[in-house]
Structure 1
Amino acid sequence: MIRKLLKILGILLLLLVVGFGCLYFIYNEKLPEGQSGPEADALAQKMLTSLNSKKYQNTRFLEWSFRGGAYEYKWDRERGMVDMRWDDYRVQLDLISPNSSIVFKNEQRLNGNESAGLIEDAMDNFNNDSFWLVAPYKIFDKGTKRSIVQLEDGLEGLLVTYNSGGTTPGDSYLWILQPSGFPKSYKMWVKIIPIGGIEATWDDWAVMESGAFLPKTHQLGPLEISMGAIRGYNR
């Protein structure tokens, strides 16, 4: 019986390996080479201008949720603080000095030893989940490199590589833009996805109370990523 079970598990594992190999062969794209310099920065600035990025820069509070509402965020950009909730936890996440963050479980404050790993998890999740909300506004972040890539349709894409900062430095995103510079989607070369060039849409936008553009959803293959009840405001 055990031998038969092991044989079945071996077959299933083989099928998974072969299936992944097929997906990798069909969909994996190499990271494209681009041309950096003033023209790439000009294209990046065109993208920000199309989004009226000053409205975003002047927005103090951002609220959204992620993973079907499992993680909820209220970000005070002026103070560099995030009120973050999931399961029984609430974290007052200090983006400037993470070690000063405060963690609660069932509204009871945890001590330093209990909090350390949760603060690290909170920062990792915030870095990922906020990127899906505000990535277009981070293309001039410290440690970024911008390059122009010639696309197959003859248009130009903007390749942004994050050489430092965040949770996974080295990740790259190729922005596909409308002629106006407004983003439509990006392709990703990131550590957490083994297949390069997977595309996610950035074409479902809403205008916030502050006037900033923020995405409501993204389409990643058959998967819809909802940003929940998004808000951007100043009061």
Structure 2
Amino acid sequence: MSGLCPKTLNRLQVIALVLGLTLLCVAGSTAPVQAQDDGEMATADAVAQRMMEAHGAEAWKTLPYLRFDFAVEGNGDTRIVARNLWNRRTGAYRIELPDSAQTVVVIQTNESSPGNVTGTVYKNGEEVTGDQKADLLKTGYQRFINDTYWLTAPLKVFDDGVNRSYLADSSDAEHDVLHLTFGDVGLTPDDEYWLYVDKETGLLDRWAFRLQSMPNDATPAAFDWAGYVTLTAPGGEVQLAERHEGGQRAILTNNLSAPESLPDDAFTSPTPMLGE
């Protein structure tokens, strides 16, 4: 579901849930947004297009399956939050939560929205129903939105509702800086992102964000994108980052792989199968 807009959920709630602490904030250039002329808008789109090409946007369209973990690293410890498996052809998405109940959530992303999530939930190998199922499907959908955005944000800058502007005053010899705002989409349309695009490679080198629920004068939270991995797809190569480093902590989207095929029960098995 590569066209899904990341604005669907309140990211502050999701990220705070993951980190369990106040977001680390480091200084980032956040020049005020100015009205842009046609030339400036063309520059923003050109930088965004170059970034997408560097990350393998055309190959990404042909990638059938994606496997990765979402984890938080800090204080000498790494905590896996969710293990993810995505069938990008059908929209089926499997989340395994590393809890004592062996929770497995399978959602149909192509048929779901925040208020109506379609899927199946298992605990200890047994199907869950009722309110508990509804709550866990909602959690699974939040995981899908949050985890895939941390992994694939550079490939989503032309999604519907995304407004791009080029910050010439913030750009320098090493980076072109894009400022992302959003139209009337999702629950938090006042979120803002700053993308620092490496001028040499075209890859996303760093991002900063100020979320709608943060104070207007809050310093944006910033993370360096590192640990790039090359995935092979039928249409070429895709470049995705496994590490997002901010201060003393890091968000990991690691154990990345692009399987050529999956087991028949990849989205029906009621017990965990994505590894320890």
TM superposition score category, shorter chain reference: 0.7 to 0.9
C-alpha spacing 1:228/1:204, structure 2 compared with 1 (3 Å) = closer
Q: CA deviation at 1:115?
A: 0.9
User: Which 5+ residue runs of structure 1 have no aligned equivalent?
Assistant: 1-19
Task: Look up the SS of the partner of 1:142 in the other structure.
Answer: coil
Q: Give the structure 1 partner of residue 210 of structure 2.
A: 189
Alpha-carbon distance in 2 for matches of 1:28, 1:177: 14
1:127 and 2:145 matched:
yes
Q: Give the structure 1 partner of residue 265 of structure 2.
A: none
Q: Give the structure 2 partner of residue 203 of structure 1.
A: 226
Task: Look up the SS of the partner of 1:202 in the other structure.
Answer: strand
1:74 and 2:85 matched:
yes
Percent of counterpart pairs with the same letter? 23
Per-residue displacement from partner, 1:63-107 (whole Å, max 9, x unpaired)?
Answer: 111123231100111111101110221111111223321111112
Alpha-carbon distance in 2 for matches of 1:196, 1:233: 40
Task: Look up the SS of the partner of 2:90 in the other structure.
Answer: coil
- More relative contact order in 1 or in 2 (CA 8 Å, sep 6+)? 2
Q: CA deviation at 1:176?
A: 0.7
User: Which 5+ residue runs of structure 2 have no aligned equivalent?
Assistant: 1-21, 72-78, 262-276
TM-score using structure 1 length = 0.80
Q: CA deviation at 1:45?
A: 0.6
1:149 and 2:149 matched:
no
Of Structure 1 and Structure 2, the greater helix share is in 1
C-alpha spacing 1:158/1:152, structure 2 compared with 1 (3 Å) = closer
Q: Give the structure 2 partner of residue 219 of structure 1.
A: 245
Task: Look up the SS of the partner of 2:33 in the other structure.
Answer: coil
Alpha-carbon distance in 2 for matches of 1:225, 1:165: 26
- Are the counterparts in 2 of residues 31 and 197 from structure 1 also a CA contact under 8 Å? no
Q: Give the structure 2 partner of residue 50 of structure 1.
A: 54
Q: CA deviation at 1:126?
A: 1.8
What pairs with 1:88-99 in structure 2 (closer than 5 Å)?
88-98=102-112, 99=117
Q: Say what the alpha-carbon RMSD is for the aligned residues.
A: 2.6
Per-residue displacement from partner, 1:31-89 (whole Å, max 9, x unpaired)?
Answer: 63153633211221111122222122211111111123231100111111101110221
- Are the counterparts in 1 of residues 118 and 137 from structure 2 also a CA contact under 8 Å? no
1:177 and 2:177 matched:
no
Q: Counterpart of 1:186 in structure 2: which amino acid?
A: W
TM-score using structure 2 length = 0.69
Q: Give the structure 1 partner of residue 270 of structure 2.
A: none
Q: Counterpart of 2:81 in structure 1: which amino acid?
A: A
